[in-house]
Amino acid sequence: MKLFNTLTQSLQEFVPLDDTVKIYVCGVTPYDTTHLGHAFTYLTFDTLMRYLEYTGHKVKYVQNVTDIDDDVIRKARELGMQWDELGNREIERFLDDTDSLNIRRPDVYARATDEIERIIELAQALVERGYAYVNEGCVFYDVKHDTEFGALAQSIGLNDYQSMLAIANERGNFPEDKRKRDPLDFVLWQAQAPGEPAWESPWGAGRPGWHVECSSMSMHYLGQQIDIHGGGADLTFPHHTCEIAQSEHYSGKAPFVRTWMHVGMVYQDGEKMSKSLGNLTLVRNLLKEYSADAIRIVLQNHHYRYPWECFPEDLKIAADTAQLFKQVRELIGPRLDGENTMLHNRFIAAMENDLNTPEALQLLKQSAREALDTRDKNLGAEVLRLTGILGLTA
Ligand SMILES: [Zn+2]
């Protein structure tokens, strides 16, 4: 199978390190409801995992949940809730929404607040090795000390310190802090602010930074080098760029990740679907009108790497496709032993080509129509076997 590696900007033959494929995907911050952009990311890795298993691999899949951060604390205050009460509620909602879409749960669903001890150990080791420094109860990663910092950021055209700084300022994701030596330094451990939840550490009470939780969990649950690390394309910089720096200077092993996979953003009304814009298509609202299969199809009709805009017509077309597969089910009844080598091989070729689900679905649609026109139950049975690999339930 060929997968596109964001770090090398090339299609590479995928060869796992050993007999279990190790996948880590950055999860949600539980303060708001699952929208179609989230679903696109988690469905991509669900589809990949199903396909890898179909082709004979064992898979171990870890996803984190950032259950403590600025957004969770702020939103909980707005709602008059405890931060952990809000987190628990939103984690349940996220799992409900993804379950409803037949997106399988990861083998490990790890909370940042369960990772504190190991995060402290990681931060301490980076301080000892000179890659991090302590100031007023905070620990910061020392970007200028790390001459390799930013390799992944080059994949999105950020080729030097100045360009990283410019985009960081534009997006505001390296908050100003007079305790930092350099504006691009990022926090590994944050000293407690008045009224905020905190945990004990060698530097005083505080809480972990965001980037460090994923380094810590990935290495803890999957080992110091893994096969695939994924997430939304907006995580390339700074989040994944920072993860590489922390992990490789902690473990002394490179590469931390053999294949970086990034999922394109979903747009609506010409703008990126995001919490701040309020232009969300929430999964739970869509499920009132469309089946899980229809929603999976609208997402799988787009190649995972590219951004796309969701139009209402796309959902209607996907619902028709789901209906088409249902008709095939009615044609063949419960029998499942059909076979069509040509369709099977073409489907595999599409999937092997960087998980080309739009092409795979196109083939399945054509074959479904043909099976219905010619009352070909063998072909119909093959169509349904392959839609099953895509996680469809017709
Ligand atoms: Zn992450």
Question: Which pLDDT band holds residue 89 (cuts at 50, 70, 90)?
Answer: very high
Sign of the alpha-carbon torsion through 14, 20, 21, 22? negative
Q: How far apart are CA 280 and CA 272, in angstroms?
A: 9
Task: Give me ligand 1 centre to Cα 259, in Å.
Answer: 15
Task: Give me ligand 1 centre to Cα 214, in Å.
Answer: 5
Question: Which pLDDT band holds residue 215 (cuts at 50, 70, 90)?
Answer: very high
Q: How far apart are CA 1 and CA 52, in angstroms?
A: 9
Residue 316 is assigned to a ligand binding site: no
Task: Give me ligand 1 centre to Cα 217, in Å.
Answer: 9
Can you give the CATH number for the domain in which 106 is found? 3.40.50.620
The pLDDT value given to residue 172: 85
CB neighbour list of residue 374: distance below 8 Å, 6 or more residues apart: none
Do 198 and 342 share a domain, yes or no?
A: no
Let me know if residue 287 belongs to a domain. no
The enclosing H or E element of 23 equals strand 20-25
Residue 137: which region, alpha, beta or left (left: phi > 0; alpha: psi -120 to 50)?
Answer: left
Let me know if residue 252 belongs to a domain. yes
Residue 275 is assigned to a ligand binding site: yes
The pLDDT value given to residue 334: 78
What average pLDDT does range 272-281 have in this prediction? Answer: 68
Helix, coil or strand: residue 81: coil
Residue 214 is assigned to a ligand binding site: yes
* pLDDT tens digit sequence for 42-60: 999 999 999 999 999 999 9
- Taking alpha carbons only, the member of 125, 123, 163, 161 closest to residue 143 is 161
Q: Which domain holds residue 367?
A: 312-389
Residue 239 is assigned to a ligand binding site: yes
CB neighbour list of residue 261: distance below 8 Å, 6 or more residues apart: 3, 4, 5, 6, 44, 45, 48, 228, 229, 230, 304
Task: Give me ligand 1 centre to Cα 192, in Å.
Answer: 22
Do 258 and 342 share a domain, yes or no?
A: no
CB 134 within 8 A of CB 120: no
Count the domains in the chain. 2
What average pLDDT does range 178-201 have in this prediction? Answer: 96
Question: Which pLDDT band holds residue 101 (cuts at 50, 70, 90)?
Answer: very high
Residue 115 is assigned to a ligand binding site: no
* pLDDT tens digit sequence for 360-394: 999 999 999 999 999 999 999 999 999 999 999 98
Which residue has tokens 């890898």? Answer: 52
Do 258 and 371 share a domain, yes or no?
A: no
* pLDDT tens digit sequence for 102-139: 999 999 999 999 999 999 999 999 999 999 999 999 99
Do 114 and 240 share a domain, yes or no?
A: yes
